[in-house]
Amino acid sequence: MFSSFRNKLKRGDSKQNPQGRRRSATTPDGKRRSLPERQQYRRPEFLKLTEEQLAASVNFETRPILIPNNQWSLPWKAGYAECIHAGGKSKQNEDQAAVGEIRLELQVPANTPQTLDGEEESPPTTPNGNQVKFKESGSLRAVYFGVFDGHAGAGVSLMVADQFINHLQEKLVEARAELFRCAYPELYDVENNFWYPKNYPKSLFTVDNLVTGALEAAFQAMDEQIARESVSFYLPGGCTALVALFILGKLYIANAGDCRAVIFTENETMQMSEEFTPDRERERINLLGYCRPDLLHGLFTYKTFWRMPRSPNEVGKKMLCRGPMDQGWHYETVTTEDLGKLPLVPYVDDKKWAPIRLMGTIGVTRGFGDFDLFEPVSRSVPVKPFLSCVPEVTVIDLRDRKLTAEDVLVIGSDGLWDRASNKLIGAEVRNALASQDVNREQLNIYCHAAERVLRFARGTYQQGWKQPSGREASFDDLTAFVIPLHEVVQVTSLSRHSPEN
């Protein structure tokens, strides 16, 4: 049994996943397969594909690169491109993407009880119904882009692309009053606001931690919805997620998984996210196992010995080991409880030779779904308790930067970055944006950049998919947004509307 587990680690389940990072075991309960699918497979709506184009996109031999039929339809004329994997992974492109806009209204109740559309609207309130009064009316525009990289099926990534904006809007609206007060304190009507308790810690809250909190809560609400609906619908697998939210002249990157966001300017490259792998989250995972031994089911251990102690002859002897919060190695006395226990996160000397997987199953530790995922030995221990849907949020203030049309944010699924460094992708983007051979009236330059980036990562077929250098190209699904940054500040700032007396 244990040799089977070790063999799975060594080969990295390359037959199922040529990139070496996804799932290798699923639920033992086959009854879920009889449940209906939640929604029909499709590509992102903003592509506006015809039925013929959708059918042609699922070609594992040519791997056509798709861009929106209306190249100028996305906010700020952002570019987008995608292509399917090289076969052997699934029958569909499991990546999904979404774009959305959210408007937050700031309404003054005194003399202007109507919005710009003429509809009555109450002023911003707290979730408990307390009105927060301001001196002027206005509206705030938030724009979001999302990449959702599915695994073991496209159902979860489809659902997230469709539903996530609803959760994000709900959480931002709940925080609307506090958000406006923090962002525009000069508009806050101090004299007529009485609901704040005397000990209310106003200084504790900032725009950044309110938006970050809204993103974190939206991610958790999304995962809870998947859990509820997986009882009624067939939602196998899961997806990683990266969301770029532009609001109040700032960029918030919320990442749960192994997608990546990078800003490229003329002289600077800024990686805005880090991948969540078992190795990176070793401390969190082992600490959870230490605090919740019931989750280990007597099969796993939160300790990391340099090799698994098996023989009774090793009991009482010392072996190099890491504890749940240790950064270094120390000698630990082997006990009978340690014999035959599998590490939650194995120690692998050569990560390229054997990708590290959580409980021998999955190479990413944050994302949505995976409620049907079990470890591959007994197929009875759920992996989900050790996964997290909570994103890491990073913030950059764009208001003080002198941005040009060549300064962009690139967000893409892991397939884009697995075979290409930030430096190589940045070079492709900059060359595309500087190209003089493109008719910019007929081709969106940012779509051109996204298409060029994907063409580089995918490569061409030469006895296998190869990059121009001859290096092995990406076999995975590929997705990329190229988003210009120079109009963000103006578009996402408050649009004020003074009340008429």
pLDDT band for position 472 (50/70/90)?
confident
**Same domain as 147, residue 40:** yes
Q: Copy the structure tokens of residue 128.
A: 């408990």
Closest to 382 measured CA to CA, from 172, 257, 230, 183 = 230
Nearest to 28 by CA among 379, 377, 299: 379
Contact 409, 266 (CB under 8 A): no
Residue 55 within a domain: yes
pLDDT of 28 over the 50 cut? no
Q: Say if 382 falls within a structural domain.
A: no
Q: Work out the angle at residue 62's Cα, subtended by the Cα atoms of residues 61 and 67, and round it to the nearest 5 degrees.
A: 140
What confidence category does residue 18 fall into, taking pLDDT thresholds of 50, 70 and 90?
very low
What local confidence, expressed as pLDDT, does residue 203 receive? 77
Phi, psi of 135 (to 5 degrees): -90, -20
Assess if residue 19 is contained within a domain.
no
Q: How many CB atoms lie within 10 A of CB 424?
A: 17
Note whether 495 and 139 are within 8 A (CB): yes
In the predicted structure, residue 24 carries a pLDDT above the cut 60: no
Same domain, 62 and 197: yes
Tell me how far CA of residue 196 lies from CA of 68, 106, 199, 372, 456, in angstroms.
Answer: 48, 19, 8, 45, 56
Tens digits of per-residue pLDDT, 268-319?
999 999 999 999 999 999 999 999 999 999 999 999 999 889 999 999 999 9
Q: Please state the separation of Cα 333 from the chain's center in Å.
A: 41
**Is residue 81 in some structural domain?**
yes
Residue range(s) defining the domain that contains residue 359:
2-11+281-367
Torsion sign (Cα): 44, 486, 103, 169? positive
Q: Give the residue, 457 or 115, on which the prediction is more confident.
A: 457
What pLDDT does 493 receive?
82
Global pTM value: 0.87
Q: Which residue has the higher pLDDT, 39 or 149?
A: 149
Q: Are residues 90 and 142 in the same domain?
A: yes
- Residue 21 lies inside a defined structural domain of this protein: no
Quickly state the pLDDT bin for 25 (edges 50, 70, 90). very low
- The DSSP call for residue 366 is B
In a domain, 18, yes or no: no
The pLDDT value given to residue 341: 92
pLDDT for position 139: 81
Q: How far is CA 142 from the centre of its chain?
A: 18
So what's the pLDDT on residue 349? Answer: 61
Identify the pLDDT of residue 30.
Answer: 58
Q: What's the pLDDT band for 120 if we cut at 50, 70, 90? A: very low
State whether 117 and 156 are in the same domain. Answer: yes
> pLDDT tens for residues 424-455?
999 999 999 998 777 777 789 999 999 999 99
Instruction: Let me know whether 66 and 176 are in one domain.
Output: yes
pLDDT at residue 246, as a whole number = 98
Residue 98: name the closest of 160, 161, 154, 14 by CA: 161
The reply to whether 362 and 261 lie within a common domain is: no
- Please tell me whether residues 324 and 471 are part of one structural domain: no
Bridge partners of 410, per DSSP, are 262, 482
412 three-class SS:
strand
Q: What's the confidence (pLDDT) of residue 166? A: 97
Q: Is residue 29 part of a domain?
A: no
Q: Report the CATH number at residue 55.
A: 3.60.40.10
Beta strands in 207-366 (DSSP E): 238-247, 250-256, 260-264, 269-271, 300-301, 304-305, 318-322, 330-333, 342-343
The answer as to whether 23 is a domain residue is no
- The type of residue at 200 is Y
Instruction: Clarify whether residues 271 and 289 are in a common domain.
Output: no
Which H/E stretch holds residue 100?
A: strand 95-106
In this structure, the answer to whether residues 90 and 206 fall within a common structural domain is yes
Closest to 391 in 3D by CA, of 367, 422, 420, 355: 367
Average pLDDT over residues 206-228: 97
Tell me which of 308, 332, 367 is where a domain ends: 367
pLDDT at residue number 250: 96
What pLDDT does 108 receive?
58
Residue 73 and residue 6 in one domain: no
Residue 1 has pLDDT above 50, yes or no: no
As given in the structure block, the two tokens for residue 67 are 């861009």
Q: How sure is the predictor about 494, in pLDDT bands with cuts at 50, 70 and 90?
A: confident
**Amino acid 107: pLDDT:** 65
Alpha-carbon distance 53 to 57, whole Å? 6
Axis-axis angle for helices 176-183, 207-229 (nearest 10): 160
Q: Structurally, how many domains does the chain consist of?
A: 2
Alpha-carbon dihedral sign for residues 197, 199, 205, 211: negative
- The string of pLDDT tens digits covering residues 311-365 is 999 999 999 999 998 889 999 999 999 999 999 998 776 455 567 899 999 999 9
Please provide the average confidence, as pLDDT, over all residues in the chain.
85
Which pLDDT does position 2 carry in this prediction? 36
Q: What is the 3-state secondary structure (H, E, C) of 72-128?
A: CCCHHHCEEEEECCCCCCCCCCCEEEEEEEEEEEECCCCCCCECCCCCECCCCECCC
Query: What mean pLDDT do residues 405-419 have?
Result: 95
Give yes or no for residue 8 having a pLDDT over 70.
Answer: no
DSSP string, 162-187: HHHHHHHHHHHHHTHHHHHHHH-GGG
Strand 342-343 and strand 300-301: pairing? parallel
Q: How confident is the model at residue 244 (pLDDT cuts 50, 70, 90)?
A: very high
Q: Note whether 417 and 318 are same-domain residues.
A: no
Share of the chain above pLDDT 70, in %: 82
pLDDT at site 46: 95
State yes or no: pLDDT of 41 exceeds 80: yes
Most confident of 5-19, 404-418, 434-448: 404-418
**pLDDT digits 0-9 by tens, 372-401:** 999 988 888 999 999 999 999 999 999 989
pLDDT at res. 256? 98
Domain end point (choices 367, 398, 423): 367
Q: Is 239 exposed, middle or buried (0-12, 13-18, 19+ CB in 10 A)?
A: buried
**Domain check: are 103 and 213 in the same one?**
yes
CA angle 151/152/156 to nearest 5° reads 65
Q: Which residues pair with 149 in a beta bridge?
A: 95, 240
pLDDT interval class at 180 (50, 70, 90):
confident
